Amino acid sequence: MTLGADTGKLPSYDRPPVIEVACSVMFASLEGLLSPHIGLLWQRFQPEYPFCDDVVPIPQRVEIFDDRNVEPQLELTNIVPLPRVWFISEDETRIIQIQRDRFIHNWRKVSVESEYPRYDNLISNFQAHLASFDDFLAEAELGNIQPLQYELTYVNQIPQGQAWLTVEDIGNIFPDISWKANSPRFLAHPQSISWSTVFDLPDELGRLHTSVKPIILNEKPTLLFELTVRGIGNYTSRERLQNWFDIAHEWIVCAFADLTDRETQTKIWQRKG
């Protein structure tokens, strides 16, 4: 696969099943970042993101590309934990998430009218908001962002009735997963199927993690299909951040097309290209 392909040449869909996209950068912990700073930072984003919330911080999960077994280390510190803070847009489709060692910008589908804004728009907003956060850190003399890892996640929902009725039909959407329901077998009708795969990107740029699992959403059976690329490679400078995300996006788009049924892509999601 050619790295950094033109996004206009990648498969696209008029009705994609994507319901959330998140761009994230993990960095060295900003121990001086305190709750009052978050309040001042919100003032900068508040005209566009008028709502806020506190949630539990995301633990670090780092991709390792050697034979080391990395065990979590217990750290003794006097630093008071800081929650992950959400700045939420007026229509609640966009969220800026900040914690001491992570900056995230994500879009989410909150209604049938919420249209996927496309990757170019998302990465542009992510870059702009990250730059604003970096400027605030410099003005407050809190240090600067030293990227340790990037992450791009796409979450898709495929409700019952879109090419499947029971989990035995999962092969209709994901050809690599199939259930051979023939009468002689002992186990005939699974109640649930969970599937995950991991793929290495070239040059240790990161790993692609994919998973499919059934959930109940609004009382309706739904397949949740997640694709995440996590890593950094030698793209450690801010100038090369978007290059890494462009590659991660290419892998996710091509993996989606590779792992799902072409007829479903065409008839239901209206694939172009």
pLDDT digits 0-9 by tens, 148-176? 999 999 999 999 999 999 888 999 999 99
How does 195-215 read in b/e, with b if 16+ C-beta sit within 10 Å? Answer: eeeeeebeeebbbbbbebebe
**Residue pair 201/231 in contact by the 8 Å Cβ criterion:** yes
* Residue 99: strand pairing partners: 102
Residues in CB range of 23: below 8 A, 6 or more apart:
104, 105, 106, 122, 123, 126, 150, 151, 152, 245
pLDDT of residue 191: 84
Largest CA distance in the chain: 71
Query: What average pLDDT score do residues 6-13 get?
Result: 78
3-state secondary structure of 214: strand
pLDDT of residue 141: 96
Count CA atoms within 13 Å of residue 195 on its CB side: 15
Binning pLDDT at 50, 70 and 90, where does residue 183 land? low
Q: Is the model's pLDDT at 10 over the cut of 60?
A: yes
Chain segment 29-81, per-residue pLDDT in tens: 999 999 999 999 999 999 999 999 999 999 988 898 875 444 444 454 566 78
Chain segment 87-98, per-residue pLDDT in tens: 999 999 999 999
Rounded to whole angstroms, the Cα distance separating 83 from 85 reads 6
Residue 119: phi and psi, rounded to 5, are -60, -45
Q: Is the model's pLDDT at 138 over the cut of 90?
A: yes
pLDDT of residue 7: 54
CA-closest candidate to residue 105, choices 113, 114, 117: 117
pLDDT of residue 57: 93
Percent of the chain beyond pLDDT 70? 92
